[in-house]
Amino acid sequence: MAAVVLNVTPFEFGLLATIEFLPFIFLSLPAGVWVDRLRRRPILIVGDLGRAISLISIPIAYNAGVLSIWQLYVVGFVNGCLTVFFDVAYQSYLPSIVERDQLVEGNSKLEITRSASQIAGPGVAGVLIELLKAPFAILLDAVSFVFSAVFVFWIRRAEPPIEPHDVVTGPRPSMRQEIAVGLRYVITPLRMQGKMNATMRFIVWGTIPMGAISGGILGGVIGLHNTIWVGAISSLIAFLPVAFSPVRHVVEMPAPVDDGSDAGGTPEAEARST
């Protein structure tokens, strides 16, 4: 819509991508705390339906002749906020509905479907934009989120109840303390899944807004082709942090962390239990 219908500049296009991913910087860590305090399935359903409503506003505004780049900025930001909560919640939801020995298979299937959609989605979008124009393609995108909400609603395995924090570790710590705990954890007990996944999302996805705005600026200064070369060369070193980390030595699922070992409730106690 921004490129084909509104004919925005490279900087405006980069700014749109930046605004869409800004929530991953500002909301990822707090979202992890909320995901651990609430049931995950309702968060997934609300995230899907909220994004559907947000996207539907674009073809409506287009048909009314009032669509602007500013509306795309708002829709991008709203969708980004909802995506933060959805992404943190769905990864944290999986361990509560499958057995531990099924986690590798479950995560593999999630990644296969996610990768397949990322590969097929842009191609299908291009065909739809060519045949039916961008507004109708976005309408179909909105409908896809409604289907996602329905499928999540049909999951019948009960999610374990959220334990009151004072039952496990005494009075509930502040959000800042819980974020600190999430930053210290990696192979995690169930009640810490939200904060841990939010931490990883913050580290990985939080760099996207900086790359998007940099790409927009470079696109206007050195041209689009040269900017793509800069991105391609930079991507060649993305594997280095993982290649030189202990993760490369992990060949089987580690033993679960004992929830009782971190009953102190403080960030220091949580850290010692790892």
Comparing 266 with 23, the larger pLDDT belongs to 23
* Predicted pLDDT of residue 234: 86
Q: Which residue has the tokens 């990322």?
A: 118
Domain boundaries, position 62: 10-247+255-272
In a domain, 167, yes or no: yes
The secondary structure of 96-124, three-state, reads HHCCHHHHHHHHHHHHHHHHHHHHHHHHH
Spatial distance between the Cα atoms of 123 and 100, rounded to a whole number of angstroms = 36
Helix 103-132 vs helix 69-97: angle between axes, to the nearest 10 degrees? 150
CA-closest candidate to residue 113, choices 148, 164, 73: 148
Residue, of 246 and 48, whose pLDDT is higher = 48
Residue-level pLDDT at 184? 67
The chain-wide mean pLDDT, for the chain, equals 82
Q: Look at residue 79 in the predicted model and tell me its pLDDT.
A: 95
Contact 58, 1 (CB under 8 A): yes
Looking at the domain assignment, is residue 5 inside a domain? no
How many structural domains compose the chain? 1
User: Counting every residue, how long is the chain?
Assistant: 274
CATH number for the domain that contains residue 31: 1.20.1250
- Predicted pLDDT of residue 257: 58
136 is a domain residue: yes
Q: Is residue 144 part of a domain?
A: yes
Confidence class for position 138, pLDDT limits 50, 70, 90: very high
Residue 73 binned pLDDT confidence (cut-offs 50, 70, 90): very high
Residue 152 Cα distances to 3, 40, 44, 49, angstroms: 33, 10, 7, 11
Residue 190 in any domain: the answer is yes
Q: Is residue 90 part of a domain?
A: yes
